[in-house]
Amino acid sequence: MSAAVTEDKKAETKPSQLDQLKKFTKVVADTGDFESIKDFKPQDATTNPSLIFAATQKEQYAHILEEVVADRINSGLSGPAQIEDIMDHLLVAFGCDILEIVPGRVSTETDARLSFDAEGSIRKARQLIDLYAKRGIDRKRVLIKIASTWEGINAAEVLQKEGINCNLTLLFSLAQAVRCAEAKVQLISPFVGRIYDWFKAANKRDYAGAEDPGVLSVQEIYTYYKKFGYETEVMGASFRNVGQIIELAGCDLLTISPELLDKLSKSHEPIERKLDPAKAKNAEVQRLALDEKTFRYLLNDDAMASEKTAEGIRKFAADIVKLEKVVASKLK
């Protein structure tokens, strides 16, 4: 047997990077693709309007939209109200199918156009949870995704008190993270890759490893939370490469695309824990005092965070409109 073959055999017996990562971080699939979820066996799964829209364009998932439309076409609603009703049922249908695969939770997103409407976000979250309940899904298995605006976090604060757990998304700054923790939000999703994209474009240079601005942002938030004993879970999201994931090994959760999950599953290089609550407890961190005026100023003063939050809301809203057009075409 050649030395090369022997080394390959040795590598196969070592745990993959994905298996190593699962030892100290909850791995979440960032997809609406059921087959990918089955392949990588994550604990939870997250969806968003972009992922659901993409899924409905695939032949193997088109039947979900067809079934929802057929079921709701005689609901007695018409016009925009009928489309909204079908959209809600479609999101929940995808969520329920995902929950048949993952043992944990699924994140379902509210309408991004409600990002500055606290009451509208609360109403939409209650509607989605009610639809899940009618299909026999315990609310503990659902996270309602809301954008990390001042209004979005206020909505989440109300929902959390009602036992509706929230995932605050489009989060790019410590100010957003601190306000979420004070609101006792269940989970936040800081967007590593989009932070990296902004700094790469702004400074016309690449970043890798521990110097990556997206990685540094999540490290800062994680350290702050563990230092001051906040129970809100930190889930790094929106990764561009495996290096970013490895640098955040030890984070509470990481939501990862099928492409990067595949790369992690095929590599057997060692991974070491980078984020540790015990180390964070001893870190020198200054507590941030926040009220609405301070929150808005800090977010506005952070060009990256304010620009990426606004851009993310616009993109998710645009994909909701695309999905609504697809639904409307099915009703003709």
Query: Would you give the DSSP letter of residue 289?
Result: P
User: Rounded to whole angstroms, how far apart are CA atoms 116 and 118?
Assistant: 6
Active site residue 145: yes
CA distances from 310 to 19, 115, 193, 243, 313 (A): 36, 10, 16, 27, 5
Q: How far is CA 170 from CA 84, 137, 219, 228, 295, in A?
A: 23, 26, 17, 23, 15
Residue whose tokens read 């616009």: 314
What is the rounded radius of gyration, in angstroms, for the C-alpha atoms of the chain? 20
Backbone phi, psi, residue 41, to 5°:
50, 55
Q: Which residues pair with 121 in a beta bridge?
A: none
Q: Which of 22, 26, 124, 145 is catalytic?
A: 145
Distance CA 197, CA 206 (A): 9
* Residues with a known catalytic role: 145
